[in-house]
Amino acid sequence: MAKSELNSTSFLNKEFSQIEAYILQRDSFNPKVSKVDVAWHLDHMLKTINVICKSLEASNPAAFKPNFSLTRTLIYAWGDFPRGVAKSPRVVLPPDNILTEDLYIQIEMAKENLQKIQDLDSKVHFEHPYFSVINKRQSIKFLKIHTRHHLKIVADIVKK
């Protein structure tokens, strides 16, 4: 991902369009691909964006200490995650009943939150469960990789 893309408020616009298009197939399910339906993946992607943005906003840039994570380095270089390996933190797990209206609301919130973080200090950060503490640039890259990962799964679910 180019540096200019990381500094753009539109870096997930293509993915947001895909998410919106997949809402029509929200109930699609393929147990050979995933244990959960399309709506679960859409809700999870959006919750992840919103939670990370809020965490970045709430962080203290002065408290950031650069760190090394081999896992993060490898995943970022590869540009994807292996499927079925990681467990999502509870805070980004979808509810049992995912409302279509809530998906649209979360898309708008995600767009607003991504806009807000563009002006934050480069050392705002959050603690990722597998990648240690990551700064704004690393968080943006994570959001791109994470969102694309789940969109690939959704595409595989809806394939006939």
List, in order of start, the domains of the chain with CATH numbers: 3-158 (1.20.120)
Contact in structure between 103 and 40 (CB atoms under 8 Å): no
Task: Quickly count: other Cβ atoms within 10 Å of residue 113's Cβ.
Answer: 18
Instruction: Name the residue type at position 149.
Output: H
- Which pLDDT score, from 0 to 100, does residue 40 have? 98
Contact in structure between 52 and 96 (CB atoms under 8 Å): no
Residues of the chain falling short of pLDDT 70: 1-9, 160
Which residues, in sequence order, are CB contacts of 152 under 8 Å at separation 6+? 80
- Which pLDDT score, from 0 to 100, does residue 11 have? 85
Task: Quickly count: other Cβ atoms within 10 Å of residue 108's Cβ.
Answer: 11
| H helix runs in the chain, sequence order | 3-6, 13-22, 38-58, 70-78, 100-117, 136-158
Hey, what are 87's tokens? 């467990």
